[in-house]
Amino acid sequence: MARGAFWLFLERGSQQLSSIIVFAVIARLIGPEEYGYVTLCGVFLSLAVNLTSSMVDGVISMHIKDDLRLSSLFWLVTACGALLSLFSYAISGPFAAFMGQERIAPLLHAFSALPVLVAFAALPTALVTASMDFRIFTIRTLIATLTGGIVGIIMAIKGFGGFALAGQQIVMYLVINLVVWPGCGWRPRLLFAAGPLSEALRLGMNQVGSSFVNFFEGQTPRLILGYFLGPVAVGQYGFVTRLCSALQDGLVQPILLVVYPAFAQIRDDHAEQSKILDQLIASVSALILPAVAGAIVTAPVFIPLLFGKTWLPAVPLLQILLITQIGASISIILRDFLRAHKLIGVFLRLQSVIVFGGIILSVILVSHGLYIFSWGIVAMSLVALIAYTLLLNRAAGVSVWRSYARLWAPLAASAAMSAAVLAFTDSSLQPSNNWHLLIIDLVLGGLVYAATFTVLQYRQVATAFAYFKKFRNRQDAV
């Protein structure tokens, strides 16, 4: 898990650094309204990612390696991706008419190329994930993100607007396919049999159901905002959720992505699983809590610096929705624990109820404006975390309440960090140059958090350093 997480940290860190640079340049050039149109088109890309990645889920949990089942699954997933591409193209006109925005139709024509590209890469990605050889992910992401980013920036500079983001995504997924296929160690054959696929699809379809619920949870607010409040509101919301996902992808996802394959491999070792689960919650919280706190207090500085003053109205929205990343990160750990134990169906039923309640709440709150709407999302993320924690205890016999109780240290350290940053920002010592202010805020906040956390959790920090020293020595020996 540590080795996989190391490569994924390199992958996610490099990806987020390069993609945020690209995103900052394009966001400055196209503005909130055009980005709102792109956000609505991205609903169909999100559907493709959720559907195809879930259909191949059985490859990981069942360790499928034979050509018959792999080839059958590949052709099925690819066909689904092609159909979704055709559907996206065909629905573009009616969808634009329903949203009352003609600009959506031509953009969705371009975005309709993406589902089949996503589907084509789904199975080799699952094979690499099952092997936990995340070095391939690092190589793939670096090349794909840089290539797609260059294309997107050039198109944005030349005035293509939202088409710049479509071009970026298309090139990125083309490169992903070119890189991941040689590294997965398998090639599809002209084979297809429905019978051998039944068990893999049964497990995969449970995950498909969960992914569809995730899709509705993430995309329905965009549709509601686009329909009731227009493209600027949905553009601000899409912009903020993009930044929130970047924070999680860069810091937390490298750990979360190794959870499922690791738990699947040690499914029968309950003592080891409980120990790892406790360590995962502690590690993820120690990363996400200060990151969220730091982003909240520095948002008024870095948003206009990186993305331009046109995005300043999105600052309060970002500060609200960043809170959801705390509960979402832990909820993913609990979901993947249940997923590894083939309990995703139980999780799906509870998740469906929570998401349905969240959609109803969103429809009720949208008339009160964007900020009240966002506070409703925060409330539902807290409800979901509590519900999933209770489900884990009931379905798997595992309690994590003690793990939550130990989060007082990163919470206290994050509060100290925020207070220090706000005090410096409001003092007479702050520099006139906002770039200097941002750098000092980040360095000061990091030092205060590290010092406070070390004082409060000295034994835990010493244990972590001892482990990483041992891990490094083992790597050097290899």
At 443 the pLDDT is 94
Q: To the nearest whole number, what is the mean pLDDT of the chain? A: 83
Span 310-325, average pLDDT:
94
Give residue 459's pLDDT band: very low, low, confident or very high (50, 70, 90): confident
Give residue 368's pLDDT band: very low, low, confident or very high (50, 70, 90): very high
Q: HSE of 142 in the Cβ direction (CA atoms, 13 Å)?
A: 13
The separation between CA 335 and the C-alpha centre of its own chain, rounded to angstroms, equals: 14
Distance, in Å, from the CA atom of 429 to the CA atom of 436, rounded to the nearest integer, reads 12
Look at residue 429 and give its three-state secondary structure: coil
Distance, in Å, from the CA atom of 260 to the CA atom of 61, rounded to the nearest integer, reads 8
At 6 the pLDDT is 60
Lowest mean pLDDT among 309-323, 396-410, 439-453: 396-410
For residues 141 and 183, the answer to whether their CB atoms sit within 8 Å is no
Distance, in Å, from the CA atom of 254 to the CA atom of 9, rounded to the nearest integer, reads 5
For residues 132 and 261, the answer to whether their CB atoms sit within 8 Å is yes
Question: In residues, how long is the chain?
Answer: 478
Is the pLDDT assigned to residue 194 strictly greater than 90? no
Find where tokens 């999105």 sit: 314
At 247 the pLDDT is 82
* Phi, psi dihedral angles at 132 (to 5 degrees): 60, 25
Is the pLDDT assigned to residue 352 strictly greater than 60? yes
Report which of 369, 276, 384 is spatially closest to residue 325, judged by C-alpha positions.
384
Domain ranges of the chain: 2-406
At 5 the pLDDT is 57
Q: Which two tokens stand for residue 466?
A: 């001892």
At 90 the pLDDT is 93
Distance, in Å, from the CA atom of 365 to the CA atom of 441, rounded to the nearest integer, reads 35
Span 310-324, average pLDDT:
94
Which residues, other chains included, contact 135 with Cβ-Cβ below 8 Å and sequence gap of 6+?
7
Sign of the dihedral defined by the CA atoms of residues 112, 115, 118, 121, in that order: negative
CA distances from 35 to 96, 158, 165 (A): 15, 16, 9
Span 386-405, average pLDDT:
90
Look at residue 267 and give its three-state secondary structure: coil
Burial of 181-208, coded b for 16+ CB within 10 Å and e otherwise, reads: bebbeeebeeeeeeebbeebbebbbbbb
Q: Which two tokens stand for residue 461?
A: 């920090």
A 10 A CB-CB count for 249 gives 19
At 1 the pLDDT is 56
At 426 the pLDDT is 87
At 201 the pLDDT is 62
Is the pLDDT assigned to residue 472 strictly greater than 70? no
| pLDDT tens digits along 15-57 | 666 777 888 888 888 888 888 988 888 888 888 877 777 777 6
| pLDDT tens digits along 115-166 | 999 889 888 888 877 666 666 666 777 788 888 888 989 998 998 888 998 9
At 85 the pLDDT is 92
Lowest mean pLDDT among 181-185, 312-316, 333-337: 181-185
For residues 95 and 104, the answer to whether their CB atoms sit within 8 Å is yes
| pLDDT tens digits along 269-304 | 667 777 778 888 888 888 899 999 999 999 999 999
- Percentage, residues of the chain above pLDDT 90: 33
3-state secondary structure 291-314: HHHHHHHHHHHHHHHHHCHHHHHH
For residues 418 and 297, the answer to whether their CB atoms sit within 8 Å is yes
Give residue 261's pLDDT band: very low, low, confident or very high (50, 70, 90): low
At 237 the pLDDT is 93
The separation between CA 97 and the C-alpha centre of its own chain, rounded to angstroms, equals: 30
Is the pLDDT assigned to residue 336 strictly greater than 90? no
At 398 the pLDDT is 85
A 10 A CB-CB count for 94 gives 10
| pLDDT tens digits along 396-417 | 888 899 889 989 999 999 999 9
Distance, in Å, from the CA atom of 36 to the CA atom of 280, rounded to the nearest integer, reads 36
Give residue 4's pLDDT band: very low, low, confident or very high (50, 70, 90): low
Is the pLDDT assigned to residue 320 strictly greater than 70? yes
**Alpha-carbon radius of gyration of the chain:** 22
Distance, in Å, from the CA atom of 160 to the CA atom of 302, rounded to the nearest integer, reads 26
At 105 the pLDDT is 92
Is the pLDDT assigned to residue 478 strictly greater than 60? no
At 293 the pLDDT is 95
For residues 207 and 83, the answer to whether their CB atoms sit within 8 Å is no
Q: Which two tokens stand for residue 385?
A: 């975390």
Is the pLDDT assigned to residue 63 strictly greater than 90? no
